[in-house]
Amino acid sequence: MTESIRRSGEYENFENPYQAQSSAPVNPEWPPPPAYQPVPQQPVQQQVQQQVQQPVVEPTAVWQTQAAAGGSGHGNGNDGGTALLTAEPAPAKKKRARGPLALLAAVAIVAAAIGGGTAYGIQELTGKDEVVSSSTTTSVVPSSKTGDVASIAAAVSPSVVEVSATLSNGTSTGSGVIITSGGEIVTNNHVISGANSIKVTTSDGKSYTAKVVGTDSKKDLALIKLENASGLKAATLGDSDGVKVGDTVVAIGSPEGLTGTVTSGIVSALNRDVTVSTDESQSQGQGQQGGGDGSWPFQFGGQEFNGDTGSSTTTYKALQTDASLNPGNSGGALIDASGNIIGINSAMYSAATDSSSSSDAGSVGLGFAIPINTVKADLAGLRAGGSDS
């Protein structure tokens, strides 16, 4: 039996911090006791309750609170723990705050890129490299020349052509708008309806033979394609939904066969119900040699203008303009202040009742155009042959 031996006086003056809690002898092989009073451990339930009540702070703040707990619980009013609890938590919350700001900044950059750039409606045509140029924000003319009629005319005139259709008993003359560099042209259905052959003359005087691709008499639209054409200047199609009454507009066409005639005015009304004929025989009234007064008959506001529209008619919503339109402007371009096509001119009122009253003929400031958004929505159908095929 081993017996613990203790020499007299040994460990007599050593203050044992655990003496108040235990009277057990001290083994000399034990490690020396800590030099500070241990922090009493709180019950687990109380710790959990404090963790729930106290705000979440960063690791640095937690260390300082623990260090403060080691000191006196009664200070002079500058209690470290209290100051730490009211201190602002740092980095993590600031990172979270920057998240929405970064998202907003990214959205703003994307919006600016879209709003400030050029929008193009890409549509597959007969040639894979041909596209219809379409934009709601593009300025065809320089921004400093916006609204300048001379600049608009210079920029857009190469995209407007004269269309001459040979009929069984005469000719029909109108206008058209080039929409692809390969020679696709939009015009009015009544300009080419019933044609045996179609000849197109560009602004530089070149002549082409054209074939009908598709027609839509209900919208008075037609799509024709030039033969052996390339490198033509296509017009930029705008957004007719953004047009407002009072907007400046320019009209380009071939009234009375006068190619490249330019007039200007404003949009005088929106969404006018215009009724026109869908009968092919009515197209003869448009021609210079086909009889009639050379005007396309239409109905508006319960009245008939330029003759009888016949029994077969259709009604569409149109832009109204006071830009001078005359016989031959049909199928031509109505252009906004930035040089974008916003409509295809289709009907105009002429005061003359017959060809002998030429002194009374001419524009009285009442013209109508098919909105370009209607044209764009109908292009796929026209390329497929149209609704009349």
Catalytic residue IDs: 190, 220, 330
SS3 at position 276: strand
Q: Which residues of 231-249 are buried (b: 16+ CB within 10 A; e: fewer)?
A: ebbbbbbbbbeebeeebbb
- Phi, psi (5° rounding) for residue 37? -75, 125
Pairwise CA distance, residues 171 & 175, whole Å = 13
CA dist., res. 331 & res. 252, Å (int): 10
Output Rg (C-alpha) for the chain, integer angstroms: 43
Say how far apart CA 161 and CA 150 lie, in whole Å: 18
What's the angle, vertex CA 271, arms to CA 268 and CA 276, rounded to 5?
100
Pairing outcome for strands 221-226 and 184-187: antiparallel
Query: What are 284's two structure tokens?
Result: 């003869």
H-assigned helices in 121-175: 149-156
Contact present, 365 and 266 (Cβ < 8 Å):
no
**140 Cα distance to chain centroid:** 17
CA distances from 256 to 137, 250, 310, 335 (A): 34, 18, 24, 20
- Whether residue 292 contacts residue 356, with contact meaning beta carbons closer than 8 Å, is answered with no
Query: In terms of Cα–Cα distance, which of 112, 136, 132, 142 is closest to 238?
Result: 136
Task: Please give the DSSP secondary-structure letter assigned to residue 308.
Answer: -
Q: Which residues pair with 313 in a beta bridge?
A: 277
